[in-house]
Chain A
Amino acid sequence: MGRVKLPIGPQHPALKEPENFTITLDGERVVDVDIRIGYTHRGIEKLMESRTYTQNLYLVERICGICSYAHVENFTQNVEEILGIQIPKRAEYIRTLFLELERLHSHFLWLGVAGHEIGFDTLFMYTWQDREVVQDLLEMISGNRVNYAMNAIGGVRRDVCVEHQKKVLQGMDYLEKRAGYYKEVAINEKTILARAENVGILKTKDALKYTAVGPTARASGITVDIRKDDPYASYLDTPFDVITTNTNDVLGRVVVRVLEIFESIKIIRYLMAHLPAGEIVTKAPRKVPEGESISHTEAPRGEDFHYLRSNGTEKPERYKVRTPTLANLPALAEMLKGTYLADVPIIVAAIDPCMGCMDRVLVLKGNEKPGELVDGERLRRYSIKWYAERGWKA
């Protein structure tokens, strides 16, 4: 059977931003992958140049609705570095709390998405129900479930009171129990193992060569975690372990994220037990002197990198954002090569793309004339059916 080109994209029923892959197939095996993005390119970096630093606090948050706080943290860190201000310790702890709460909600969200991709919708319902505990905590302290508007330049805008601390700790107890259940499921459940073990292999040398980041890199044995390598906020104080596995596959990426949930719970418990007294914000001037600054954080998906160039006015001269998913795309293209088409949905989901997945699939036959239009829900169902024919059941 000859080679067939399959464009997949740019719209997915289950969620997220669109992107487009053109996959060259030989039979059922992927031979080559070409990635086209830009469907959510809004022009934020340029827009930031015409807004003040205060206005940009709210714009930067909305680069992504899942890891929004990581972006705001980077932004405020950049501005504060050029201004030369040190924020109060209590503010650092509250920021770290939000960074970790975000990681929790993102990892639970991802577990559900991964479950949905392989047809395990019960997992989706369970994990998103548990995730609501985190959303309630975020809303309790900040006022919103998404886009918390917690940071000011110089600290945070809202405080955490004793009642909040109690509720956060109660939430952690509940989530720890639930994470324990998911850990058992991830490691022992045959249905998941069949779809995740030895699927989407990314060798360590390739992960390094293509600079994979986040859980994708850590599942290939690379100990990279910005919280440990270039500590920010309160990460020098809080004890936690960097989780790696060396299975190089989708299962490794599942295990890393589940175990990271435990580490986040550990960090949050420490923060609540050691929250320093004091102010939550330091006054900051509106004009930022000329200078440049680099800030990067370990967002739930990996290294989120921001660069700021200031020019002495109230508006940035240049702001650059490199999100973790962009860093993982070359590694993704590599790990899709040689796999079955039926594995494509879960492998793409396993890098936790903060850009969408596939919906529209156009099958091009041999001489590249357009063929039958197949939507992405059918690709997902094709992959579930393909595995069912080989004895897999949800």
Chain B
Amino acid sequence: MFKGLVKWARVKSPWILHMNCGSCNGCDIEILAALIPRLDAERFGVLLKGTPRHADVLVCTGPVTKQMKERLKRVYDQMPEPKFVVVVGQCGSSGGIYQGAYGVEGGIDTVIPVNAYIPGCPPRPDAIADGLIKLLASIDKGGKL
């Protein structure tokens, strides 16, 4: 009985942790812009949290720089199950325009498993909200996109 309730709570109010893994900030700003009154992702119950231990969804931006790789792994490990990872932006998806740069590992999925990719440079706030909603819908349906 509780499983259904917990799933409903998770889908109706996903708590997200945002982590910049070396991005130029473009995507990070657009993520925040999705929370302001114009789009107001908070009406979907999205709450930005400060700690991995309270988060359901990890929202990552940026090509993973060599400096951030271990920290990204650590944050992911600290999140309780079930957890989901959303990548926002081209750089997080594949390394983007920084492919080949010596300070960069590659996309987020070279370090941790990813559930959803939202491409763009940066993606518009509407696209980010759309991606998050699609992820929530898939969780509702049973976990796979």
Direct contact of A and B (CB under 8 A): yes
Judging by beta carbons under 8 Å apart, are A13 and B48 in contact?
yes
- Answer yes or no: B100 CB below 8 A from chain A CBs: yes
- Answer yes or no: B51 CB below 8 A from chain A CBs: yes
Judging by beta carbons under 8 Å apart, are A43 and B104 in contact?
yes
Distance to closest chain A CB from B22 (angstroms): 5
**How far, in whole Å, are A359 and B27 apart by their CA atoms in the complex?**
19
Given contacts A64-B24, A147-B122, contact A11 B71 (CB under 8 A): yes
**How far, in whole Å, are A46 and B98 apart by their CA atoms in the complex?**
11
Q: How many residues of A contact B (CB 8 A)?
A: 45
Q: Which residue of B lies closest to A132 (CB)?
A: B38
**How far, in whole Å, are A103 and B6 apart by their CA atoms in the complex?**
45
**How far, in whole Å, are A65 and B28 apart by their CA atoms in the complex?**
9
- Answer yes or no: A221 CB below 8 A from chain B CBs: no
Judging by beta carbons under 8 Å apart, are B38 and A129 in contact?
yes
Q: Which residue of B lies closest to A116 (CB)?
A: B32
Which of B36, B71, B97, B122 lies in contact with A128, CB distance below 8 A?
A: B36
- Answer yes or no: A336 CB below 8 A from chain B CBs: no
Scan residues 33-74 of chain A and give those whose CB is less than 8 A from a CB of chain B.
38-44, 46-47, 50, 58-59, 62-66, 68
Distance to closest chain B CB from A45 (angstroms): 9
Judging by beta carbons under 8 Å apart, are B97 and A58 in contact?
yes
Judging by beta carbons under 8 Å apart, are A109 and B29 in contact?
yes
Most buried by A among B36, B71, B102, B122: B36
**B residues near A, CB below 8 A?**
17-20, 22-30, 32-33, 36-38, 48-51, 62-63, 65, 67-68, 71, 75, 97-98, 100-104, 121-122, 124
20 A-B pairs with CB atoms under 8 Å apart are A10-B67, A11-B20, A12-B20, A14-B32, A15-B25, A15-B32, A16-B25, A16-B28, A17-B22, A40-B22, A40-B23, A41-B67, A65-B23, A65-B27, A66-B25, A68-B24, A125-B37, A129-B38, A146-B29, A377-B49
**A residues near B, CB below 8 A?**
10-18, 38-44, 46-47, 50, 58-59, 62-66, 68, 109, 124-125, 128-129, 132, 135, 145-147, 354, 356, 359, 375-378, 380
